[in-house]
Structure 1
Amino acid sequence: MPPYFAFSHSPGLEEMTREAGNVSSVMANSAPTFVEGAIIVGGGPSGLAVAACLTMKGVPSLIIEKSDGIGSLWKYKAYDRLHLHIPKQFCELPHYPFPEDYPMYPNRKQFVDYLENYFRHFDMRAQFNTKINAAYYDPQLSCWKVESQPSSAGSGECVTEYCSRWLIVASGENAEAYTPDMQGLRDFRGPVLHSSNYKTGADYMGQRVLVVGCGNSGMEIALDLANFNAKPSLVVRSPVHILPREILGVSTFAVAMSMMKRFPLWFTDALLVVYARAVLGDTTSYGFKRPANGPMTIKCEQGKTPILDVGTFAKIKSGAIKVCPGVTHLTSQGAKFENDQFAEFDAVVLATGYRSNVPRWLSDDGGFFSPEGLPKNPSLGTWKAGRGLFVAGFGRKGILGATFDAKYIAEAISDAWSLESHKHLVSPLKSRYPPP
């Protein structure tokens, strides 16, 4: 494999301002670090999948990751009891299967071990503990320039600029925790934490805990709290589908994916809803209104996964978990709800999801991303942004979608990596920034 980058620095820094979304940065005046191959921003599953697929095509890459290693979201920001919510075959990364002895739904540690083994297996190159300040396209050199610095460094300190023909955004739809602007949030006297900082219900035994958000994470955190004899209440504000995780011992998600290949989407949705009602009963009587569209229709159109119940609904039926409507505001003692009821709480867990951080650092001159940092026109594709910019894992299709993105990206880049094409593309960069 050819060397993945060559260093070429000249002394001195000159301050200059460049806009990247909402970020203004101090750019290095020294010659960039030329990366031969692709720069991949993000060391999660999406970034690893792209790096592996590029390796299989003989194309080098450099992963730039703000954390101290790969899979930081799973390693540091996941609760202890977390398992994959869908079967492992839908979460495998390209060219490397899960170990045969892994269960159908690997736990957090098993998945982290898998990612780390994946990284080692493909002998990936990475720059860890490095944050991206800005990335922009240089039309004169037909390349992408990426300003970075150590994650712990202050503004303007230890700035390094990378340069590459290809930039792959793999920082993820879930790059940063999202905290809603709830009235009275600062007034609440007890601890308030995002689900990314929640670890175990053992820390809340006997306490009244309000869980805001009823996605798969919120539901499982409420279950974890109930299992540790806490007193959880779950806020259910919007209509949502609840499906049993398995149908007669087979993954509901796997059944749905198989049915969608054979039957119309509406038919798949109808059968899933009928089965869910037969197994779980009428969920609406417990505070869960069903959306007008079916579960897989919503998944395909909006990227929202239905709740795959792992035991939470039984706890709701038994009264161990209370269901509450939307919160109007918090007080120092508790929460006021949309039904005008008030309840006291000792702690609040915000299972309110994550957001993309792309607009903070990427200068998106081509207008590929929306202000929320997601592909603006998914119908036109979610992985190819043009001018050597590619995107992995932003199609709201989970790890399975990121795998397809990685394969498409590697194919597109490898087509330009032929000896003749490669020389044509990178020779201007090498001549301007020759290796020492």
Structure 2
Amino acid sequence: MVTNTLVIGASIAGLAVAGSLQKQEIEYTIIEKDNCIAAPWHRHYDRLHLHTSKRFSHLPYKKFNSNVPRYPAKEQVIEYLNDYRSAFDIKPLFNMEAFSVKRVNDVWVTRTNKESIESKFVVMATGAFGEPKTAFFKGMETFPGRIMHSSEYKTGADFKGQKVLVVGFGNSACEIAMDLYEQGAKPVMSARSPVNIVPRDVLGIPILEISILLNPLQPAVADLISKPLMKLLIGDISRLGLQPMPYGPLRQIQKDHKAPVLDIGTVKHIRQGNIQVEGGIDHITGNIVYFKNGRVAKFDAIIAAVGYRSVDEKIVSVEKERFDDLLVSVDHQNYFGKDGLYFCGYWISPTGQIREIAQDAKKIAKDIAKKNN
């Protein structure tokens, strides 16, 4: 198969790129290893909502409907993405997985499970969260209950009456802990590392809008300005058994490439005693978990919210010295468009991941259009 532009992945980033290429009247092919668009969203837990406002979380050239709430639920996001696909007549080739992307002479050759595809341009849109990280805890093989990655979690109803350990303190971990409590389970969170917590809304205004206003400033300066407000709204998290980060949330994004926790109610539940917080896990013996803070507790199940890794390093073959800057967005890399290779959806942005994807998708399409002329 020969195409002008190959887009790999048909979730949020891939759809955003496809829609943007359509606007530029660029011929393209989009492939997806699963049998539907936005496959990760179909697999996510039932309670999931966007943690960022719909106003800044839509794809290029099409907003959410006005009847959708500010923070859309999982099914509303899926419905929106299906509507987006229809509006732009995006036709992914499903069940087609890319195994390698290599530069051969003046074209990119992508080997898939079905056929090879030659293209002038390639856009990697598999994202920074393509593959669940493997959880490992010393002695976990002796645990008699179920240990699952958060990607396998669906609903707290499956754990009603059980004492469940949620490992991690990211956005998914916090929402899962809330869901467990609301569904009648007894959640405990193992917070292994220091964290930054920011409110999702400030006086009814999404924190994302404040981040956008502060974005022109250096992260350290912006954090210094917002620190008194964050302390007033969140309080001293060390009293909750959590370790505060030595630097602020915007510096965290810049330095660690990880988003802070957007609090949607977890802090309140911790203060009320509905969710307990422990330190990192030292080891497990049977159904007993020994924490590094010296505490010990029995559990019926463990949910490992230990994050994801990108899969693109397994796929793209370029010289190692040219690979160091790939996993960031077009505004923050030196690799943008070299030899016709682009990446969309890999930069953790202080102004919202989907907003960043939408901006990058339009820039990528415009750059391809310029190089085609």
TM-score, normalization: structure 2? 0.94
Structure 2 residue 200 is matched with structure 1 residue 233: no
> How much does 1:162 deviate?
1.0
1:377 and 1:409 map into 2 onto residues whose CA distance is: 10
The 3-state SS of whatever aligns with 1:164 is strand
Who wins on radius of gyration, i.e. which is larger? 1
Give matches, 1:27-176, under 5 Å: 33-35=1-3, 37-76=4-43, 78-139=44-105, 142-149=106-113, 159-176=114-131
Structure 2 CA distance for partners of 1:259 and 1:384, relative to 1, 3 Å:
closer
The 3-state SS of whatever aligns with 2:244 is coil
- Which whole-Å deviations, capped at 9, do the CAs of 1:156-211 have from their partners, x for residues lacking one? xxx41111111111111001011233222222111111111111111111101000
Structure 2 residue 169 is matched with structure 1 residue 209: no
1:253 and 1:411 map into 2 onto residues whose CA distance is: 26
CA RMSD of superposed structures (Å): 2.0
1:366 and 1:417 map into 2 onto residues whose CA distance is: 28
Give ranges in structure 2 of 5+ residues lacking alignment: none
Give matches, 1:386-401, under 5 Å: 386-397=338-349, 398-401=353-356
Give matches, 1:415-434, under 5 Å: 415-418=370-373
Structure 2 CA distance for partners of 1:377 and 1:75, relative to 1, 3 Å:
closer
> How much does 1:328 deviate?
1.3
> How much does 1:271 deviate?
4.4
1:259 and 1:148 map into 2 onto residues whose CA distance is: 43
Contact 2:200 2:262 in 1 (8 A): yes
Identical positions, percent: 34
> How much does 1:318 deviate?
1.4
> How much does 1:414 deviate?
0.3
> How much does 1:382 deviate?
6.4
The 3-state SS of whatever aligns with 1:137 is strand
Match of 2:257 in 1: 303
1:341 and 1:172 map into 2 onto residues whose CA distance is: 38
Match of 2:271 in 1: 317
Contact 1:366 1:385 in 2 (8 A): no
Match of 1:340 in 2: 294
1:383 and 1:248 map into 2 onto residues whose CA distance is: 40
The 3-state SS of whatever aligns with 1:384 is coil
Of residues 131, 149, 155 in structure 2, which corresponds to 1:200? 155
1:185 and 1:91 map into 2 onto residues whose CA distance is: 38
Of residues 360, 368, 372 in structure 2, which corresponds to 1:413? 368
The 3-state SS of whatever aligns with 1:94 is coil
The 3-state SS of whatever aligns with 1:166 is strand
The 3-state SS of whatever aligns with 2:302 is strand
Match of 1:245 in 2: 200
> How much does 1:89 deviate?
1.9
> How much does 1:294 deviate?
1.2
Structure 2 residue 234 is matched with structure 1 residue 280: yes
Give ranges in structure 1 of 5+ residues lacking alignment: 1-32, 150-158, 419-436
Number of aligned residue pairs: give it.
Answer: 370
1:255 and 1:208 map into 2 onto residues whose CA distance is: 38
- 1:66 counterpart letter in structure 2: K
Contact 1:382 1:391 in 2 (8 A): no
- 1:390 counterpart letter in structure 2: Y
2:51 and 2:329 map into 1 onto residues whose CA distance is: 28
Contact 2:219 2:254 in 1 (8 A): no
> How much does 1:353 deviate?
0.9
Match of 1:291 in 2: 245
> How much does 1:116 deviate?
1.0
The 3-state SS of whatever aligns with 1:192 is strand
Structure 2 CA distance for partners of 1:177 and 1:264, relative to 1, 3 Å:
closer
- Which whole-Å deviations, capped at 9, do the CAs of 1:386-413 have from their partners, x for residues lacking one? 1111111112222222222212211111
> How much does 1:350 deviate?
0.7
- Higher deviation after alignment, 339-348 or 380-389: 380-389
Of residues 277, 282, 292 in structure 2, which corresponds to 1:328? 282
- 1:116 counterpart letter in structure 2: N
1:417 and 1:202 map into 2 onto residues whose CA distance is: 53
Match of 1:434 in 2: none
Match of 1:381 in 2: 333
TM-score, normalization: structure 1? 0.81
- Which whole-Å deviations, capped at 9, do the CAs of 1:241-295 have from their partners, x for residues lacking one? 112211111112212322344x664453234332232233321111122212111
> How much does 1:367 deviate?
4.1
Structure 2 CA distance for partners of 1:118 and 1:104, relative to 1, 3 Å:
same
